[in-house]
A = this chain, B = another copy of it.
Amino acid sequence: MKYSKLFGKTIKETPSDATLISHKLLYKGGFLRESTAGRYYLLPLGLKVQQKIQKIIKEEMDSAEAQELITPVLHPKALWEETNRTNSVGFELMSIKDRNEFEFVLGGTAEEMLVDLVRKFQLSYKDLPVNLYQFSIKFRDELRARGGLLRVREFLMKDAYSFHVSEEDFKKEYENMKKTYTKIFERLGLKTIIVESDNGYIGGEYCHEFVVESEVGESRFLVNPDGSYAAHEDVVKFVPEKKNIAEKEESLKEVEAVRGKTMEDGAKFHKLPLWQQIKDVLFVDEKGRFILSIIRGDYDVNETKLKHIIKAYQLRHATEDEIREKIHSEPGFISPVGIKEIVKKGIEIIIVADETLSTVKNSYGGANKKNRDLLNMNMGRDYKPDITSDIALAREGDLAPDGSGPLKEKRGIEVGNIFQLGFHYSSKMKGAEFTDADGSKKPYYMGCYGIGLGRSLATIVEVFHDDKGIIWPESVAPYQVHLIGLDMDEAEKVYKRSLKTSEEVYKSLLAEGIEVLFDDRDVSAGIKFTDADLIGIPYRVVVSKRNEGKLEIKRRDKGETEFKTLGQLLSLVSH
C-alpha cells in the first residue's frame, strides 16, 4: 500500500476526551475515528489489525474443533422473554420494532439465539458435544463509554456456546477453551492472567476472566505471589487471621456510646481494636426482605457474595426511616443481638454473618438504641445468624485459600471470559433438549466463551507502545514492513548502479508476499520517521542514496539500525 493513497493518515491532534494512550495513539496513527460516543469506524489500518486478530482467533477455535456460524443481528425479543433476560441483564438492552410491530432486541450476547437454533434440530447424544462460535457485532447500551476501544457500545465479539450431555463433558470443553484462549492471547502478544470471576445470576465455579495487567484496566483482582491463585475482587476467598479467639467470653454489657464519622472513631471511643467491632450493614433485596449482614470491623461486606448466598438479584441499603420504622432500631447502632424480637410484625429479617466473626471474641457495637453500645457480644451466645458464610471483601495482604500470601491487588483489562451456563438457558427454553442413549430427552448442559476483538486490539496498544507511538507485535501488525523512500526524485540518476530505487524494493517485497506500507510521499525524512514510529510497523526499511547500496533496517522494538541487502531483509521478515 502506498502511504500517499492510504485513507486515514497520521494527525498531530488527539480528541479532547482522549485519556487512554491506546485511544490517543490509534487516533493519531489513523486507525480509527469515532462516529458517536462508543461507536467507532475502523479505518483501513485499524481494520487490518482487527482482521489479523480475527484470523488468529478463528484458527485456534477451528483447531479446537469449534464450528463457526453466524446469527442474525436482530434477536426476536420473545426469546429473551423466555429466559427472562429482558429484565435481568446487566447491560441495557436496546429494542426495536419492525413495520409489522414485531419486536427485536440488539443482542449483547447470543445465548437465546444459539439455543433457539440448536432446538430446531433433533440432536442426539452422538452429535454432542458441539461448540458453535461466531464473530458478530454486539451492542451494550452503556451509560458511559470510555474514549477508545476499551469500553464501547458496539463491538465485534467472538462468542462461542457449547452444548453437552453433562457437566462432566462440559468440564473437558472448559479446559479445552482455557488452553485455546491462552494460546490465542499468546499469539496476540498478550500475557494473560486467568482470574476467577463472578458468574452473576448463573453462578457455579466455572467462570474465569482472561486479564491483561494494566493500570487502565477496570478489572480489580487479587493474586498470590506465585500467580497460582488469582481472583476478581468480588469472589476472592481468603484465610482470615485469627484474633482473640483464645480469650474468655465476658458478660454482655450495655454502655453509653457516641458515634463519630468513621468506624475508627468507635474504636477510639471504646479504646478497643477495630477488628473487635461488629460492622452491621442492613440491605433490602428485590423481594423486600431485610438482610442484616454483619462482619468484623476491619472488613467490608462483599455484595456479590452476599447476593449469591441469599439468592437475590438486587440489594439496596435500607433507609434511615426503614431502620427506625420497620426494624425499630437506630441508624448507626444496629445490632444482631435481639433484633429479631424488636422488628415490626410481618417484616422478614435475615441475619448473615461473615466467617471473620468466628475469629473474634467479645465484640462490641450498637445496641439497637440511640447512643448505646453493647460490649462483649459473642456469636452463638448473644446472637444466632441465620447463615454464616464468606461475605467478606478480601484485602491486599490477606492470605490465599491455600495459605500462600500475601495477596496483592492488581488491575487489568478483561480481554476474554469463559464460563458455565449450566442448564440455565436450556431449562428455561422449551425444547432445548437432546435425545440421550436411553431414548430420554434431556436439557443441554452449556458453556459460553467470549473475546472482544476491539478491546484486545486496544489492549495490545496499551501494552506495546513507547512515547513515540505504537509497537505492534508481528502477529497483528497491519503491515510487516514500513518502507521509506528518501531522495525519491533523485532516484533515477543516483541509484542506477548502486541500489534499487524504493519503488523497486517495494515491488520486490510485494512479489515475495510481504505486506508493505510504502511511504512514497514528497515530505521530509523527519516526518516519515515520526509517522513510522507512530504507526508502529515492526520493520522500518529506508532506501536512501546515503546508504551505499544497502537497506537501512530498524526494528520498531529495538534501538539499533542495521544495513542489509534485500535478500537479507527477506529472510528476516516473517511472511
Contact = CB atoms under 8 A, between A and B. Distances in A.
Which of A44, A67, A76, A132 has the most chain B CB atoms closer than 10 A to its own CB?
A67
A96 B98 contact: no
Contacts of A106: 96
Contact of A67 (B7, B72, B132): B7
A380 to B, nearest CB: 48
Interface string A120-153: 1100001100101000010101010000000001
Contacts of A527: none
Interface of A: 4-8, 33, 35-36, 39-44, 46-47, 50, 65, 67-76, 92, 94-99, 102, 106, 113, 116-117, 120-121, 126-127, 130, 132, 137, 139, 141, 143, 153-154
A435 to B, nearest CB: 14
Contact of A42 (B5, B6, B70, B116): B70
A102 B154 CA distance: 14
Given A35-B76, A141-B99, A47 B65 contact: no
Contacts of A137: 73, 137
A73 B44 CA distance: 17
A75 B43 CA distance: 16
B68 A44 contact: yes
B67 A6 contact: yes
A47 B65 CA distance: 16
B68 A5 contact: no
Nearest to A79: B35
Given A74-B154, A98-B94, A67 B39 contact: no
Given A98-B141, A98-B153, A7 B41 contact: no
Contacts of A36: 72, 74, 76, 102
Contacts of A139: 73-74
Contact of A73 (B75, B113, B121, B154): B154
A139 to B, nearest CB: 8
B96 A65 contact: no
A574 to B, nearest CB: 19
A43 B69 contact: yes
Nearest to A39: B72
B72 A120 contact: no
Contact of A126 (B4, B8, B71, B97): B4
B41 A117 contact: yes
A36 B117 CA distance: 11
A404 to B, nearest CB: 42
A61 to B, nearest CB: 12
A86 to B, nearest CB: 15
Given A35-B116, A154-B73, A68 B47 contact: yes
A41 B65 contact: no
Contacts of A72: 35-36, 39-41, 154
